[in-house]
Amino acid sequence: MMKLQLLYNEYLNIKFNRGLPSVRTNCLEYYLLEDNSAQLLFADRKNESFTEWVYELQPRDPNYTVNPDWKPMLSTIFKHLDVYDELILYYLLFTINTTTSIVKINPFNAMNDFMKNYCFFQLAQLTDTSRLNDKQRHQLRDFFFFFFLYTHPVNEETLYSFSFSGQDLVHTKTNINMEHYFSIFHDYYIENLDKHRDKLSLAPHEINASKNLTMELLRSLEGKSTKLTMPPEKGLEAVIQLINDVDYLIHIYSENKTTLFGIMRDFLSDNRSTPYRDHCFSTLLQNYVSYILYFEFDEINDLVDYFKGTPLWCGMIINKIFTDAIFIRKIMKQNHIDITEYKNVIEFFDQEARRIYL
């Protein structure tokens, strides 16, 4: 089995140019492209990637046919599956697999890329969080999973097609368990490789490696695996401890919230910028949004009170909270919060925050 944590470390290493030695995991390894994007490739064939091998297997789109007259490939096993459902399940498979892709960042995709990665990481954390009750955990899981799909982005239909039954992700309409479906999907191609040689160049052991990784990614999303952690970096110990241990974040905030604000202040006063440091700080700020403001939005007043004496830092934190992601917009909408009533907050808004929220 592939160790997902090792792969995740490698993903962060390449994405944020950390310069650490590369790790080959199983028969898949990252390959850096000229535009600074990177794909996970099958090590023995540099022309086939983990995300792209299923391209050729995309089902025909029944939405372009008045009366589709074909059956889903796995219809004998999944009796309730129709050709519309089959396409949606394919989109989910592709969305999960592309979590491993490193794309070239531009102003138009930066927020979506951050949010998809953030939600994947949080879904892998939630099960272990004992300071949230079951209702809170389920609320946040649905919230993160919605944005995981939304920021991919998937079409409207796919966005609302799945739900959790206990810890299992299921296709709501048919009640098909996704772990079961993806397992059968890969096994079918391993067993019927010759029949699909026109679309498939992989060997059985490569499809099996792909299956194992897809399953690990899915189990992480479902919160069934060992939680992922952000790897350490010198000078970031306090920030990374809070990211890797949500219980600790909630605990220190409830004991004395200025402890959390002090860690933010220390980060900003140590004025060194690297892509990984900035990513970790953005993650910490969105954790404050997800685990504190989600349940009590008015806590934002205490943050502003603490930092208003250093307006530059206060503006930096507020604008990152409001423009690195739109989680806070969804939270305000859910709770019918009008941000214009928070004059102390919006006075720190930069042009981008004003454009989005005012």
SS (H, E, C) 105-146: CCCCCHHHHHHHHHHHHHHCCHHHCCCCCHHHHHHHHHHHHH
Quick: pLDDT tens for 306-334: 999 999 999 999 999 999 999 999 999 99
Instruction: Assess whether 79 and 205 both reside in one domain.
Output: yes
Domain count, the chain: 2
Instruction: Assess whether 316 and 351 both reside in one domain.
Output: yes
Note whether residue 228 is domain-resident: no
Distance from C-alpha of 300 to C-alpha of 303, rounded to nearest angstrom: 5
pLDDT score recorded for residue 94: 97
pLDDT score recorded for residue 272: 87
Amino acid at 27: C
Note whether residue 12 is domain-resident: yes
Note whether residue 226 is domain-resident: no
Note whether residue 227 is domain-resident: no
C-beta separation of 225 from 216 below 8 A: yes
Instruction: Assess whether 197 and 243 both reside in one domain.
Output: no
Distance from C-alpha of 175 to C-alpha of 173, rounded to nearest angstrom: 6
Instruction: Assess whether 269 and 213 both reside in one domain.
Output: no
Note whether residue 209 is domain-resident: yes
CA angle 122, 6, 137 (to 5 degrees): 15
Instruction: Assess whether 95 and 196 both reside in one domain.
Output: yes
For the chain, which residues score pLDDT lower than 50?
1
Reported pTM? 0.96
